[in-house]
Chains A and B, each alone.
Chain A
Amino acid sequence: GAGVSQSPSNKVTEKGKDVELRCDPISGHTALYWYRQRLGQGLEFLIYFQGNSAPDKSGLPSDRFSAERTGESVSTLTIQRTQQEDSAVYLCASSLERTSIPQESQYFGPGTRLTVL
């Protein structure tokens, strides 16, 4: 079956503009995650969805970042008034459930490479 898809694959924007990143998880996966990875760095957790709810927003770096999920499927990550330090690869992952299956792992999309000029 299809894996996690993300769009766009690359996005170049000017400082101060808003951007919207999209994630389509694997069908049937109830949990969805957003991560950020700066060049040469590890994964930085941003936000987690269980269904359409976001019980864990602890990783969002500022109020310029927001995310939503609809229909227990597609999710969008929005960054308002982008700054140069927002430049990174934004990765989305999905899994069946968060806690009930101990060995359930996450499946990642190819990411969106965001460059803020």
Chain B
Amino acid sequence: RKEVEQDPGPFNVPEGATVAFNCTYSNSASQSFFWYRQDCRKEPKLLMSVYSSGNEDGRFTAQLNRASQYISLLIRDSKLSDSATYLCVVKGGSQGNLIFGKGTKLSVKP
């Protein structure tokens, strides 16, 4: 089983749609969780951390389910500018290395 798994997509949605991505991780000792965003031919940038109680940042909501070892990202009212690849990232175990998923590609169409 891969350490961090994501559906690669692509998710093609119209503007204004709500879209959700899920991610699963294999190391139950993982401590911290993040969503990064990567635009085409650009470096990854932190979108938001994921807290145990769930957290929201504007149109973006992240949730963590430790029992099932999955993380989700919900984007409401999608904008054209949301088109990117969304990377699920897990900080695991005693070493604390960041493990990146391969990303889910989102394309928002007019």
Contacts and interface: CB of A to CB of B under 8 A. Distances in A.
Contacts of A43: 44, 87, 100
Contact of B97 (A48, A91, A102): A48
Interface stretch (B13-21, B59-67, B72-80, B88-96): B88-96
Interface of B: 31-32, 34, 42-46, 49, 51, 87, 89, 91, 94-103
Given A56-B95, A56-B97, A103-B32, A41 B43 contact: no
A62 interface: no
Contacts of B97: 45, 48, 56, 98
8 closest Cβ contacts across the A-B interface?
A42-B102, A99-B96, A108-B43, A43-B100, A102-B32, A105-B46, A98-B96, A103-B49
Interface string A45-59: 100100000001000
Query: Which of A91, A99, A109, A111 has the most chain B CB atoms closer than 10 A to its own CB?
Result: A99
Interface string A82-117: 000000000100000011001101111111000000
B34 A105 contact: yes
23 contacts: A33-B98, A35-B100, A41-B102, A42-B100, A42-B103, A43-B87, A45-B99, A45-B100, A48-B97, A98-B95, A98-B96, A99-B94, A105-B46, A105-B49, A105-B89, A105-B98, A106-B46, A106-B98, A107-B46, A108-B43, A108-B44, A110-B43, A111-B43
